[in-house]
Amino acid sequence: MKRRIPLLLALLCLALGASPARATIDDALSFALEAADPYVKEGFTVREDYWGGDLAAKQTKAIVHQLFKGNEYWFWMGTDVKNAKISVHIYDSEGKLAEVEAWQKPHFAAARIQPKKTGSYYLIVEIEKSPSERTSWSLAYGFR
């Protein structure tokens, strides 16, 4: 699901004890934004829109997104579940792996692309493993 909630509002919800489901997705977003932070200093503009939800281990979600040749993009994924392993990868419209690099760390995953063509791309997010039955995740992106 695509969401648009300012971070401050998300943090306020957490502070006021919002519902656990809502809070975990917002928590996942704050991890995704933490992953983004170093790249902002490199000139990336982070969009306020993001995607999020929850998945079981080994489950994937696909997101179709418009990218423009000439820009460079980072996609940052976050989860609040400790010891979960998550990943994000980018494929072109024909299903070919299109990212330049990708990395994973506890709570985070990210992928970078310099699109060779303007058009639709597939972002595949996955919960590779997790101690929880459902793992909340968020995906944010930035461009420069």
Partner 1 sequence: MKPAIFLGLVALPFTICAQPPQTIDVRKLSAQSKLIDQVVVPVPSEIFAVLDKLGKPNWTAVLHKTPSVAQAPAEQPRIALMLGSVIAEGFIAVEAEDVNEVKQIGKSVLNLTKALGVQKKAQMRAKAITDAAEAKDWAGVRKQLDKALDDVSDQMVELNSEELSQLVSLGGWLRGTEALTAVVEKQYSKDGAELLHQPLLLDYFEKRLANMKPKLKLNPLIIKVQKGVLEIRPLMGLPEGSAISEKSVKEIGAISAALVKAINSKSEN
Which of 16, 17, 96, 133 binds partner 1 (CB under 8 A)? It is 96
Site for partner 1 in 36-95 (CB under 8 A): 37-38, 45, 47-49, 51, 53, 59-66, 68-71, 87, 89, 91-95
The nearest distance, CB 129 to partner 1, in angstroms, is 12
Give the DSSP letter string of 9-66. HHHHHHHTT--HHHHHHHHHHHHHHHHHHHHHTTTPEEPS-EEEEEE-TT-EEEEEEE
Which of 25, 32, 35, 127 binds partner 1 (CB under 8 A)? It is 35
Stretch near partner 1 under the rule CB under 8 A, chosen from 12-20, 26-34, 130-138: 26-34
Q: Given the complex with partner 1, which of 21 and 144 has the nearer CB atom?
A: 144
Size of the site for partner 1 (CB under 8 A): 56
Residue 103 makes contact with partner 1 by CB under 8 A: yes
**CA torsion through residues 81, 30, 89, 63, sign:** positive
Give the alpha-carbon dihedral of 118, 6, 140, 107, to 10 degrees. Answer: 180
CA distances from 5 to 2, 25, 27, 47, 73 (A): 10, 11, 12, 11, 21
Cα separation, 142 vs 90, whole angstroms: 14
- Contact residues toward partner 1 (CB under 8 A) are 1-2, 4, 6, 30-31, 33-35, 37-38, 45, 47-49, 51, 53, 59-66, 68-71, 87, 89, 91-97, 101-105, 107-109, 111, 117-120, 122, 124, 141, 143-144
